[in-house]
């Protein structure tokens, strides 16, 4: 490979989520990668896990304003207040989903086909767009269209891809 040539980015690893915290971690990574270099987010991710209590939804859902201020001062993470607040909101939403559906897997199964699922995720969770929803569904092992097909469809519809 010549100097200055970019290597193709590898697709993210697919996981088998066991706990709701696994889903929250993947969704949070999608939130923080939005508009950022994925490599920077990856490099900081161990610090995110520590700073966000292992992505335990019940713990994060109950964060106080002081805990949000603590996160804003934590150099291990990307200190974007809107994304931090979105993570707290998303944890609260996942706690509600656990109560309502018994977990994320039954919730996702209840949403039907891919397009409807993306729409529902964008509506229920904060700071989640088309590609954030795609990334989330892909990583947690849900059925998604091929990346190049989805990207082309978004471009055709005039959305940013």
List, for residues 7-44, the tens digit of each pLDDT value. 566 889 999 999 999 999 999 999 999 999 989 999 99
Element (H, E) at 41: helix 38-51
Task: Tell me whether residue 62 is in a domain.
Answer: yes
Task: Tell me whether residue 96 is in a domain.
Answer: yes
Give the pLDDT confidence score for residue 29 in this predicted structure: 98
Task: Tell me whether residue 161 is in a domain.
Answer: no
Task: Tell me whether residue 95 is in a domain.
Answer: yes
Cα–Cα distance for residue pair 108/101, rounded to 1 Å: 9
- Give the total number of structural domains in the chain: 1
What is the residue range of 137's domain? 20-156
Task: Tell me whether residue 147 is in a domain.
Answer: yes
Task: Tell me whether residue 12 is in a domain.
Answer: no
CATH of the domain at 53: 1.10.340.30
Q: pTM (2 decimals)?
A: 0.91
């Amino acid at each position: 490979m010549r100097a200055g040539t970019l290597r193709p980015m590898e697709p993210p690893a697919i996981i088998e989520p066991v706990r709701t915290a696994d889903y929250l971690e993947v969704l949070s990574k999608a939130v923080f990668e939005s508009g950022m270099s994925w490599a920077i987010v990856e490099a900081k991710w161990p610090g995110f896990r520590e700073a966000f209590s292992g992505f335990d939804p019940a713990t994060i859902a109950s964060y106080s304003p002081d805990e949000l201020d603590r996160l804003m001062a934590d150099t291990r993470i990307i200190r974007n207040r809107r994304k931090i607040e979105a993570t707290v909101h998303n944890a609260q939403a996942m706690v509600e989903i656990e109560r309502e559906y018994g977990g994320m897997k039954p919730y996702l199964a209840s949403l039907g086909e891919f397009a409807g699922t993306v729409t529902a995720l964008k509506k229920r969770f904060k700071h989640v767009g088309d590609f954030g929803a795609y990334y989330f569904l892909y990583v947690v092992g849900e059925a998604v269209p091929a990346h190049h097909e989805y990207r082309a469809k978004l471009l055709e519809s005039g959305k940013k891809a």
